[in-house]
Structure 1
């Protein structure tokens, strides 16, 4: 993984903690939350305050996430909002932390100037011993305070001030005044500079979790359902239907269509479909050549074209399907019929713009894993696991490509592939829909074959 770290493709944008004062604050917060401390003089932290170096030192990568379902966090600076979230257990966690920091940035900036802020992403489930328990997680509540309890003390002082102002003999109550003075020494003048961190609650109806091999849960949709990476029978009884696994391509395709979650990339607004298709075909060729131990040369498009000629009839079905579609896009071929059973099918789709766009693109990356660019952008946990299994030759190609084509302009690459970022209200307000065509009525490439089993 050193190559990825050196190229900024792993542990990028972490916040450095190196000053003795910040290390001391971190240790106070760590002891407060976990009863543990670090002996490191410098380390790096993600948006939640998790440090891979501290995790390695403690021999526990989940030291801030016990049982993997109620993530704790330590904020030393509001700059953490731009950091990634490592060891993700739920796809919604980073977004929730980011919103919490954004909506309370002024207060958090003032609080972290004097102390560390610690808190937890709370839900009503404290353990996930069975997949069905995951469906009980509907809301996440964020509660936080400084280690010194400044927020709680400020609230208490505000109530005492109200008593002083409203009680007839408040100005003669020496105990009340003494308590107010004692708290004010700690919190400052809360009448001029209020200290308040609201208890915030976020809904989590649709999410991905790494538990039980990886599950995509859709509870708020036209058709609810669960999609499992492992065989669906391994989940046992679930309080939701349908329950699918990745082998049921036709069912998943129908599920995505019914919920209007996806669109063909050749119909996506503002996308250079031909360029995207060519790049997907390159990735597929690299994987095929690597599997046959063929020399990639410099892996230029010319080199890959030579490999395609060598493979001939042995070209992967994914490549051939995308090549047919590319010929249609460029005006030189017939409209291809690519059904949901075709290996190229999910490579031809992207998520429509809606609130769960990133979650759907994450699912599509798992269904089309040879598109390593989408895999890296939308599903880093799976990308790193896949990278560890690749040959040295493929690792080098992918790392060089991502450094050259993605790292230099991350926002531009994401916008070109997936469209503009959806707003927070996206999905709550329906957009005007065009009159459906026959292609819309029967699916992007033709009618879905119904599985009669």
Structure 2
């Protein structure tokens, strides 16, 4: 994994904690949340305040996420919102934390100037003893305060200020005035500079979880289903009618179609479908040739085409099907019949425009794991797991590609792959296995 770390593709953009003051604040928050402290004087933290170094020190990578539920967090700075979220057990956690920071940024900036903010993503589930427990997770509420209780104290001061203003005899209440002065010394002027965090709750109905081998649960759709990347046999007696594993391609394709969750890339508006499909072909080509004694690192597009011609007999069905689709889209070639049973089918899709697009792209990346770019963007835990078993030639190619082709313009790459642009006036309705073809 050293290639990834050195290239900033793993543990990249973490926040460095090195000053004694910040380390001391972190330890107060850690003690407050877990009863533990660190002896380290220099470490890095992710979005939630989790540190891989402290996880190693404590021999507990879930020290802020006990049992993988109700994730806790420590905020030393609002800059943590640009860091990755490590050891994520639910796909919704980062989005919830990011929205919490953005909605409360001014208050959090003021609070973290003096103390750490510690909190928790709270739901009613405290263990994952069985898959049925996933259905008890319905709403996530954020609870947070500084380790010194600044928000709690500010609420007390607000109450006493209101009492002082509304009670005609309050001017003569020396005890009330003394309490207000004491609290104001701890919180500052809450009248001019209110210290409040918005009460925030989030529905969690459609999500991915790392539990039980990796599960995609879709409850808030017209046709609910659960899709597992693990052992379907352990998923008995669940309160949902449809349970699939990743081998049931027809049923997954039908689920996506019935709920309008995915669209064919060649039908997507405002994208260069041919360029996207050709890049997927390169990734499939590299996967097929890596470890076969064929040099693949640093190859140009012309070189990749030559390799494809020379080794056509070694290339899988996915490559040839995508080549035929590119030929149809760009050169008016014959329509390739690519049904959901075909191994290339899910390579031809991306999420449609809806609130769960990221979740669908995550599912599609697991179904098309040879597409290393989409896998890295949408499903990093699986990317890191699979990376360990790739031949060195593929590892070198992947690191070089992601460093030179993706990292230099992450926003542009994601927009090109998944973003939505204004409709093109000359857009042709295309269908085939994706609908009715008209050219």
Give the TM-score band, short-chain normalised.
Answer: over 0.9
Question: Which position in structure 1 is the counterpart of 2:96?
Answer: 96
Check if 1:367 corresponds to 2:367.
yes
In the alignment, is the contact (CA less than 8 A) between 1:72 and 1:120 conserved in 2? yes
SS in 1 for 2:238: coil
In the alignment, is the contact (CA less than 8 A) between 1:263 and 1:444 conserved in 2? no
Check if 1:299 corresponds to 2:290.
no
* Range with greater deviation from structure 2 (52-61 or 306-315): 306-315
In the alignment, is the contact (CA less than 8 A) between 2:116 and 2:147 conserved in 1? yes
In structure 2, C-alpha distance between the alignment counterparts of 1:150 and 1:287, rounded to whole Å: 54
Question: Which position in structure 1 is the counterpart of 2:135?
Answer: 135
Cα RMSD, aligned residues only: 1.8
Check if 1:443 corresponds to 2:434.
yes
| TM-superposition CA deviations, 1:77-102 (whole Å, max 9, x none) | 11111111001100000000000000
Check if 1:56 corresponds to 2:48.
no
In structure 2, C-alpha distance between the alignment counterparts of 1:14 and 1:45, rounded to whole Å: 6
Question: Which position in structure 1 is the counterpart of 2:377?
Answer: 377
Deviation at 1:439, TM superposition (A): 3.3
Deviation at 1:239, TM superposition (A): 0.7
SS in 2 for 1:346: helix
Question: Which position in structure 1 is the counterpart of 2:334?
Answer: 334
In structure 1, C-alpha distance between the alignment counterparts of 2:383 and 2:241, rounded to whole Å: 29
Distance 1:278 1:85, change over 3 A: same
Deviation at 1:409, TM superposition (A): 0.2
In the alignment, is the contact (CA less than 8 A) between 1:170 and 1:176 conserved in 2? yes
| TM-superposition CA deviations, 1:342-362 (whole Å, max 9, x none) | 000000000011110110000
Question: Which position in structure 2 is the counterpart of 1:450?
Answer: none
Count of residue pairs the alignment pairs up: 432
In structure 2, C-alpha distance between the alignment counterparts of 1:137 and 1:2, rounded to whole Å: 37
Which runs of structure 1 show a deviation greater than 4 angstroms over 4 or more consecutive aligned residues?
none
SS in 2 for 1:84: coil
| TM-superposition CA deviations, 1:147-169 (whole Å, max 9, x none) | 00000000001101111222232
- TM-score scaled to structure 2, two decimals? 0.95
User: What are the residue-to-residue correspondences of 1:11-26 with 2, within 5 Å?
Assistant: 11-26=11-26
- TM-score scaled to structure 1, two decimals? 0.92
In structure 2, C-alpha distance between the alignment counterparts of 1:220 and 1:132, rounded to whole Å: 17
Deviation at 1:7, TM superposition (A): 1.3
Distance 1:297 1:400, change over 3 A: closer
In the alignment, is the contact (CA less than 8 A) between 1:338 and 1:445 conserved in 2? no
Check if 1:145 corresponds to 2:136.
no
Question: Which position in structure 2 is the counterpart of 1:206?
Answer: 206
Deviation at 1:437, TM superposition (A): 6.9
Deviation at 1:174, TM superposition (A): 1.9
| TM-superposition CA deviations, 1:400-446 (whole Å, max 9, x none) | 0011110000000000011149xxxxxxxxx9xxxx97938x63489
* Range with greater deviation from structure 2 (226-235 or 210-219): 226-235
In the alignment, is the contact (CA less than 8 A) between 1:297 and 1:303 conserved in 2? no
In structure 1, C-alpha distance between the alignment counterparts of 2:76 and 2:312, rounded to whole Å: 57
In the alignment, is the contact (CA less than 8 A) between 1:145 and 1:151 conserved in 2? yes
In structure 1, C-alpha distance between the alignment counterparts of 2:273 and 2:20, rounded to whole Å: 52
In the alignment, is the contact (CA less than 8 A) between 1:281 and 1:323 conserved in 2? yes
User: What are the residue-to-residue correspondences of 1:83-232 with 2, within 5 Å?
Assistant: 83-232=83-232
Distance 1:444 1:342, change over 3 A: farther
In the alignment, is the contact (CA less than 8 A) between 2:150 and 2:186 conserved in 1? yes
In the alignment, is the contact (CA less than 8 A) between 1:207 and 1:359 conserved in 2? yes
Runs of 5+ in structure 1 lacking a partner? 422-430, 447-453
